[in-house]
Structure 1
C-alpha cells in the first residue's frame, strides 16, 4: 500500500476530498468523462499498434493549442498518458520535443518558458522516464544556462528580465529535487552530473537562487549538500542568498512565475489512467533519506498539505472557468507555492499575461533505460 494511500485513509480526504471538490459540478464531471474516453481510445491505439500515428497528431495539437494556455490543468495529461503507453518512443519524443522548443531562439519567450516548465514537471513526475534520459535533458538545459551566463558576462544579452534563464534554473532544481537520488545511484551518471557547471550558474551575478521559488531552492540545496554536488564554500553563499530580502520577496520586481503543469491530477474517474505512472513526493528517496522511520515522518510532513485541502465548505461551488475560483484555491492549498499568484515580466516583452500555476515537489526513482542518448535534439 502506498504511503499516500495510507494518508488518504487516515485523513478521510484524498479521493473523497476530490469527490467533494467536483461533486455536482457538471462541467468538471463532463471533462472527467471525456478524459476517460480519450484515454480509452489511446489505450486501444497502443494495443493495435497505432499509437505512433495518434501521437504525432496529439503533439501537433499540444504545440498549437495547449503549450501556451494560461494555467492549463488537465488537457496536458492526455500527453502524459500517451507517453506512459510507449515510454521508449513517445515518452522520449515528448521530452526532447519540449527541450527543442526551449532551446530554439526563434521561439517566442512565452513558448520557451512554458516548454521548460513542462519538461521540468514531466521529468519529475513521469515514473517511466529513466535516470539517464533525465540527465541527458538536464545537461542540455544546464549547458544552455552556462552559455547564457557567459554571454551575460560579455554583455551580449539584451533581455533585462532574464526570465527564460531563471525558468530554466528553477526547472533544473525542481527536477533534481525529484531525481537526484536516482541519478546518484548509478556511478556513470553521477560522474556526468558532477561535471555540470552548477556552481558557476548558481553563483553567477544574475543570482538565480534569489529569484527561484525558495521552497524548491531549499530542498535542492539540502539534497545537493548531502550528495556533495558542490564545494562546501558554496552552501554558505547560497544560504545567504535564500535569506536575502530579495528572496523573501520572491524575486522582487522580477518575480518568477511558478508553472508546474503536471502537478497532482484531480479528476476522479480518469485518475486511474494517470496515477500508476505518476510520481508522488511521498515516494521519493532523497539523498538525505536513509529509509528510517524519522525520514519517513519527514516525507509525511511534505505530503500533508495535499490531504489538508481546507474545510469541505470551501469547495461546495466551483467555477472552473474563473481565474480565482475555489478549484484554484484548493490546488494552492495542495502546493508548496505561496498562496498568492505571481506574474513575471513576460507581458511587456512578449505581449502575453504571465503564466501562474501552483507548484508541488515530488520525486522519481527509475533505473536507466537501454536507450543510447544522442546529441542535441
Structure 2
C-alpha cells in the first residue's frame, strides 16, 4: 500500500487515541492546503515525486516543506517508513542538491532497530542515492558515524561486551557503511574525517567512549588500510585523558574511603571529574588491550599469528612515535607497547632498537632522546618477559655509549659539565644506574654475571670529569652506591660526599633575559612505573615486576635497608638516612633549566 493511500474505515472514537501515522497526518495536511481534486488515494499516484518536482520547478514549495516536516517530526511506523522509501526510491534521479533537506529528513529517521525488511529497504535506498548523487555522501556518512554515539542514559556494557540489541543496531550501521564504501570510494576519506570530527571529548560518559571506540575498531575489520590513522586518532584522544588523570591522584582516590564526603563542593566536583576520566580511560584501554590480543592471536586460541602481529606492531610503533613518545607526563597509555611486546621477545628487541637509534641520533631533539632512554630502562626494569641475555646486552650497549662519550670529553683541556649541554649523557648514566640497582638480584646471582658487571667499568663512569652522580636523582644514586659497594663494582661515597659539599643551585639567563634557577638534578620519568587502573590492569600485571625489598648492611653510611616502595624519587634523601627505593613520582622527561 502506498504511503498516501485512502484511510481505512473509521472506528468509534476513544479517549485512548493512537499517535497519528504519517499517512493520515500528511493527507490531512495536503487536504487543507490543496484543492480537493488533488487527493491521492491510488498506490502508484507517485505523490512524493510530484511534490519534489513541483519544488524543483519552484511552482509549489509549501507541500515540500510539509513533507519534510512530517518526515522529520512524525512518529513513523514500520509501514510508514517502508511506503516512504518505496516512493522515494522512484525519485532518486532528481534528488540533487536542491533536495538536500528532504534527504536530511530521511537520514533523521530512526531505522537501525526496525524489522529486517525496513532496515534492508533503508540501506538499499541510501546506497542507491549515493551511487547516483555523490553530493549527499558527506551528510550521509556524518549521520551514520553519529550513530556510533549512544544515548547519554544508556548503561555501560557488562564486562565491556556489547548487548545483543546494541550489537544488532551497530551491525546494521556498519553493513550500510560497507555498501557505501563499495559504491562510492570517496566515502573512505569522508568516513575517516567523520570519525575525527565526532570522537567524544574526554568529559563525556564512559559508555559514550566505549561505544564509539568499539564501533571504530569494528571499522578496521572492513577497512584495515585505515588502521594507522584510526590508531593515531584513538591514542591521541586517550592520551589527553591520561595526562589529566595522574597516577598519584588516582592512587589517592583509590585509598580514600571518604572521598565523596568532602565538604568543599569545588574539590568534590574536581575529584568526581578525575574519577570519571580515570574510569573512562581504564575501560577504553581495556578495550584496546583486548583488540591487540585478539588481533595477534588465532581466534579462540593462544596461538600467535606472527604475520598479523608484525603488521600491528609497525602500526602501533608509528602511533607510539608520533603520539606517545613526544607527550609529557603520561602514565598508562604507553602500556599498549608493553602488552604487545609481551607476546614475543623479537618485538621487545625491535622496540629497543627503535628507541636506541633515537638516543644515538644527534639530530633528534634532546628531550626525545631522554624519553627514549627512559622508555628502554623502565621497560627493562619492569617486564618479566625480557631474557637476561637481552638485559645484559642492552646494559653493555649503554655502557659502551657512555664510555665513548667520556672519551670525547677526556681529550679536551677543559670540560663544561653544564647539565643542559650533556643532558642526554647524564640521562643515559642515570638509566644505567637505575637498572643496575633495580635488577641487581638477576645480575649478581652467578659469578659470571658479576664478572659481566665488572666489565661495564662502572667505577670509571662515576669518577669521570663529567661527574654523573652530581646530577642524578638522589634515590637512584643512593641505591646504586649501595649495590656497587656491596659487590665491589664501584666506590661512590667519596664522590657523593664531595658533591654534597659543593652543591649549589645554578642561575640561568636565556636569550630574552628571563632568569631561571636549577638545582642541577635530572628529572625522573619512568613510563612503566606501577599501573594503577583497575580493570585494564589484568592485562598488564601477569608480566609486570614489582620492586622487592632488599636489605644491605652498610653501617658506615647508615644505610640499613631499601624499602619496598613503588613511587621513586618522592623525596631527596640525605646520605645518612633510611633510603627508600621509590620509582617514579616525578613523571616526565621535560628538562627544566
TM-score, length-scaled by structure 1: 0.68
Gap change, CA 1:159 and 1:16, over 3 Å in 2: closer
Identify the structure with bigger relative contact order (alpha carbons < 8 Å, sequence gap 6+): 1
TM-score, length-scaled by structure 2: 0.45
Say if 2:401 is the partner of 1:144: yes
Q: Distance in 2 between matches of 1:172 and 1:110?
A: 18
Q: Distance in 2 between matches of 1:71 and 1:149?
A: 30
Deviation, structure 1 residue 288? 4.2
Say whether the 8 Å CA contact 1:209–1:241 is kept in structure 2: no
Q: Distance in 2 between matches of 1:35 and 1:247?
A: 44
| 3-state SS of paired residue (1:302) | strand
Q: Distance in 2 between matches of 1:66 and 1:304?
A: 23
1:35 to 271, 277, 285: 285
Say if 2:305 is the partner of 1:55: no
Gap change, CA 1:201 and 1:252, over 3 Å in 2: farther
Gap change, CA 1:337 and 1:272, over 3 Å in 2: closer
For residues 275-322 of structure 1, the C-alpha deviation after alignment (integer angstroms, 9 at most, x for no partner) is 11111113x6x5849xxxxx9x956x432879x9xxxxxxxxxxxxxx
For residues 76-121 of structure 1, the C-alpha deviation after alignment (integer angstroms, 9 at most, x for no partner) is 11111111122x1112221222122112223221111110111111
In structure 1, what is the equivalent of residue 471 of structure 2? 211
1:199 to 453, 459, 465: 459
Counterpart mapping for 1:290-369 below 5 A: 298=561, 301-303=563-565, 335=582, 344=591
For residues 179-227 of structure 1, the C-alpha deviation after alignment (integer angstroms, 9 at most, x for no partner) is 1220222433332221112111111121111110011110111111111
Q: Distance in 2 between matches of 1:135 and 1:221?
A: 19
Say if 2:380 is the partner of 1:130: no
Counterpart mapping for 1:79-228 below 5 A: 79-86=337-344, 88-155=345-412, 160=418, 161-228=421-488
For residues 234-271 of structure 1, the C-alpha deviation after alignment (integer angstroms, 9 at most, x for no partner) is 3442341453342899x955331211111111211111
2:276 to 3, 26, 29: 26
- Which 4+ runs in 1 deviate beyond 4 A? 13-16, 18-24, 156-160, 286-289, 334-343
Gap change, CA 1:305 and 1:126, over 3 Å in 2: closer
2:294 to 44, 47, 60: 44
Q: Distance in 1 between matches of 2:281 and 2:566?
A: 27
Q: Distance in 2 between matches of 1:238 and 1:339?
A: 25
Q: Distance in 1 between matches of 2:409 and 2:501?
A: 23
Q: Which runs of 5+ in 1 are unaligned?
A: 1-12, 290-294, 309-333, 347-377
Q: Distance in 2 between matches of 1:223 and 1:112?
A: 27
1:71 to 304, 309, 329: 329
